[in-house]
Structure 1
Amino acid sequence: MDEETVSRDHVGSLERGLAVMEILARHPQGMTLTEMAEEASLTRAGARRFLLTLVATGYATRDGRVFSLSPRLLTVARTWLGGGSLWSFAAPIMRAVAAQLNEACSAAILSGPDVVYVARIPGRRILSVSLEVGTRLPAYCTSMGRILLGGLTPGELDAFLRQATVERRTPKTITDKKLLAEAVGKAQADGFAIVDEELELGLRSIAVPIRDRSGSTVAAINVSTQSARFSVAEMEREILPALFEAGQRIEDFFVV
């Protein structure tokens, strides 16, 4: 499709409305009209129209001056995730990995600066935050994020790193963007990524890519564990083979 056709078919108002929805998702406590207008770079009148449209269609609620997303969006997501999607197919495979290792096994996709969990088989509780389908974590300091960033083109990765807000989550977090690019490049070359206590102290995770039939990275799966249970070398030796096998079985979904 040429650029002229794309431009003609592009619906700018829908794009801005979806951006408003994504901003609301990042503020579960709700936002005022003024706050939305400022964050979305809209006029107050424009922000008001989008917010009231979301309220009218049931995707948002209004409590006085504060607008929040409604559970309807979760219903849409659950319908997609459960309706014969890749992840309903992948769940038994991931469950077998979790049972074999007695650790959590998760899957995620890239969404803006974050990874978004699309499937999760719980293991031992190792994080101070609750992880479930829909949870967002920063891509730059997670193993699935490094894998997904490795699937970007060089231009896309450069743009990501320029725009990313990189914060030191632990003393081990890589915050230098040049070093981050090198870590992503290593994950791409190795075919897996290990992140050692960069998101949270005591947490290690290892991830591999899920590729479609064209070879594009569409998702990642990982196993996360306590640092006291597996060293980095043990993760590569004992966990990685199970993850590679699971990833291959999930990728088979694309060619059946």
Structure 2
Amino acid sequence: MESDRLKRIFNVLGRLATDAPQTVTEVSDALSLPMSSTHDLMKAMVNSGLASTTSHGYYVGAATIRLSLRVQERLNIVNAASPELEKLVARIGFDVYLAVQTGNDVVYAARFRGRKGIQLDIPLGLPLYRHATAVGKLLAAYNVEYREEMLAGPLNALTPQTCTNPGALTEELKRISACGISVSREEAIIGAIGLATPIWTNHRIVGVAHISALRSILNDDRIGELGVELQRTSAAIEQRLIGLAPDDDPPAPITDVMGPPIRDGAYAPRSR
């Protein structure tokens, strides 16, 4: 069965990753597989780049190494972001999330509960709505393929506040890309405000910092203040990712919030 073959491939990769080189005989004995089946499996893995072969035996292949580096990168963003997101939760009291893109989907990879939590159980690892969440709109603002796929699909009204007009949504995405902050105002869930800022490394977004807050206790000024806090947190995470100590200077006083109204979903907080 296909599932059995996949398990064998993972088992082989496990051996190659920890005890290479491996001969066909060694793999066959370790996994209790017939020699002929093991030989066919190893040949297929070499052809696909999952394994490589030399006169000494089999090693992990280039495709496997590329995958492992991507996995390590994903772990790095969680490890680098966690301390800063925990600090953010302590300062603001609201729930904070770390989102990452996988293919043309975006998922929450980590959650940090605040004392003012909105009591939403948003599962980690499940795709988020693109057009109605702050995270989804942020990625659509910067990623052409993601944006085109989103606009080509159905823009379902999740709440009365959801933007379902492709033209209006496109204009909103332009504003988000210009100011670097995305806001969802009860567009996915009634009563919930979401704010998102990108985390950049090597000129690409590797993660998104996100705040979930209660609309009932926020005014426009406070949303602007949260946007500044979120931008500062993203910058600190970026410093950690390149091996620099985050700047622990006290926050700059917030003087005003520039940009379009809250209903547009994009803000450009300014501090002095």
1:120 corresponds to:
111
Residue 135 of structure 1 aligns with which residue? 126
- Among 171, 174, 180, the alignment partner of 2:163 is 174
2:219 — aligned with what?
A: 231
Equivalent position of 2:135 in the other structure: 144
Structure 1 residue 157: deviation in Å? 2.2
Does the alignment pair 1:97 with 2:106? no
How does the TM-score come out when normalised to structure 2? 0.60
The structural deviation recorded for 1:113 is 5.3
Deviation for aligned residue 1:116: 0.4
Instruction: Provide the aligned length of Structure 1 versus Structure 2.
Output: 185
Structure 1 pair 126–93 and aligned structure 2 pair: CA distance change class (3 A): same
The 3-state SS of whatever aligns with 2:131 is helix
Distance of aligned partners of 1:173 and 1:93 in 2 relative to their CA distance in 1, 3 Å threshold? same
Does the CA-based 8 Å contact 1:106-1:223 persist in structure 2?
yes
Aligned to 1:200: 189
Greater Rg, structure 1 or structure 2?
Answer: 2
The aligned counterpart of 1:184 is 173
CA apart distance, 1:186: 1.2
Secondary structure at the aligned position of 1:139 is classed as coil
Unaligned runs of 5+ in 2: 11-70, 244-272
Q: 2:150, 2:73 → 1: CA distance?
A: 30
More displaced stretch, 173-182 vs 82-91: 82-91
Question: What is the CA-CA distance between 1:131 and the residue it aligns to?
Answer: 2.2
Structure 2 distance, partners of 1:83, 1:157, is 22
What secondary structure, in the 3-state scheme, does the structure 1 residue paired with 2:111 have? Answer: strand
Letter in structure 1 aligned against 2:175: K
CA contact (8 A) 1:139 1:146 kept: yes
For residues 119 and 187 of structure 2, the distance between their equivalents in structure 1, rounded to whole angstroms, comes to: 12
Give the % identical residues.
Answer: 22
Residues 110/165 of structure 1: CA separation in 2 closer, same or farther (3 Å cut) = farther
Cα distance change on mapping 1:81 and 1:166 into 2, 3 Å? farther
How large is the Cα RMSD of the aligned pairs? 2.9
CA contact (8 A) 2:117 2:213 kept: no
Mind listing any 5+ residue stretches in structure 1 that lack a counterpart?
1-47, 59-79
Q: Aligned to 1:159, which of 130, 134, 149?
A: 149
| Residue pairs, 1:15-164, within 5 angstroms | 49=2, 53=5, 85-112=76-103, 114-123=105-114, 124-128=116-120, 130-153=121-144, 156-162=146-152, 164=153
1:173 alignment partner, SS class: coil
**Shift of residue 156, structure 1, vs aligned partner:** 4.9
Which amino acid in structure 1 is aligned with residue 211 of structure 2? Answer: V
